[in-house]
Amino acid sequence: MCALLSLLLVVAVLAGSCGRGSPSPPAPSAPGELPAGGTGAPEVPVPKRPCPLCGQPVPENLVHRRPFALMIDNAPQARPQAGLGEACLVYEVLAEGGITRFLAFYLHEDPPKAGPVRSVRPYFLDLVLPLDAVLGHAGASEQGFADLRALNVPHLDEIYGGGDAYWRVPPSERKPPHATYTSGELFRAAMKKHELEKEGPFPAPFPFRTGGKPAEQGKEAALLTVYYPGGWQGYRVSYAYDRDTGRWLRSINDDPHRDADGRVLWARNVVVHFVEMRRIPGDELLHMEAKMTGQGQAIVFSGGRYREGIWRKPARRSPAVYRDDRGEPLELEPGPTWVLVVPVGTRVEIK
């Protein structure tokens, strides 16, 4: 009887402690929504401003944060990647061996997990510098390291000095070098610790259309396919336009390209950006070089249409400016943009 009594007492104590936090009194701040600043304040609508990277209206306090950009693996063993769905802007560029890598830029949506993070190549620095973002990567090619130093690129390298911004998953999950991940929260904490934070405003990569329906310029397109040359087992990327949502849905070799959470990756705009690119003669590691400055052709897809034009980029630190054949700026729809950087002569099929 005595044992039963003590058991009842334990149950009563446990019930008492559980009841303390829930369900009453109500929690002072509701989870889910970001507070406008301070806790317990009455609800005040947060002023919104367009995100410089994607043009979408987002709370002002997030727009002035410094963006960061992650080098993300696209080897078949790296798929599905994590965190590409949260990016405002993604560049896809060939690395050696016919495999592409992504440079994904983040500002207002912090990915819970992003990666696998890989090493950087020099021509990706031409995309990071104009947007004053902090680069996240795991190592670099020899020229990549030289350019990181010479150009004083703000960066967190998982292998040399910035390991606190990342974690590695066990080999049972992903084998190295496809095992390095970060999150928005962890990366931003490391930016703070390494004194890489900075207040905005930050530059925008494109002019975005403001207000109303998509522009009805250009020719209609329902599907675009880019055949990356030298691609691993005929690597090709397609985007199919979904009229109901205004989204371009991404596929790799005809299979929907999904993020780790199962969502099919999509873009509001797809830009095909042609550059002079070649394998470096005599380089045993098959590294590529790309001429990212100067000018070249571009095709901009948005709103189920496409327009052709020219990009110009006078220096490594300046952004590429896109104009149509009459010299007018090529505006993009607000939303995520994917820029496919491809060698001149790459086959692009539009239907």
Residues that bind Zn ion (CB under 5 A): 51, 53-54, 88, 107
CB nearer to Zn ion: pick between 62 and 75 = 62
Taking the complex as a whole, the smallest distance from the CB of residue 337 to Zn ion amounts, in Å, to: 9
The nearest distance, CB 168 to Zn ion, in angstroms, is 28
Residue 95 phi, psi dihedral angles, 5° rounding: -110, -170
Q: What is the end-to-end Cα distance of the chain in Å, rounded? A: 82
Helix %, strand %, coil % for the chain, to 5? 20, 35, 50
C-beta of 62: minimal distance to Zn ion in Å? Answer: 9
Nearer to Zn ion, 50 or 163 (CB): 50
CB of 287 to Zn ion, least distance (A): 32
Minimum CB separation of residue 275 from Zn ion in Å reads 25
CB neighbour list of residue 256: distance below 8 Å, 6 or more residues apart: 249, 250, 264
* Residue with smaller CB distance to Zn ion, 38 or 211: 211
Q: Which of 54/135 has CB closer to Zn ion? A: 54
Q: Which residues neighbour 329 within 8 Å (Cβ) at sequence distance 6 or greater?
A: 207, 321, 322, 323
- What is the dihedral angle through the alpha carbons of 119, 341, 97, 159, rounded to the nearest 10 degrees? 0
CB of 159 to Zn ion, least distance (A): 29
Q: Is 291 exposed, middle or buried (0-12, 13-18, 19+ CB in 10 A)?
A: middle
Distances (CA, A) of 97 to 64, 92, 93, 115, 286: 38, 15, 12, 20, 7
Which of residues 228 and 248 has its CB atom nearest to Zn ion in the complex?
Answer: 248
Q: Between 54 and 191, name the residue whose CB sits nearer to Zn ion.
A: 54
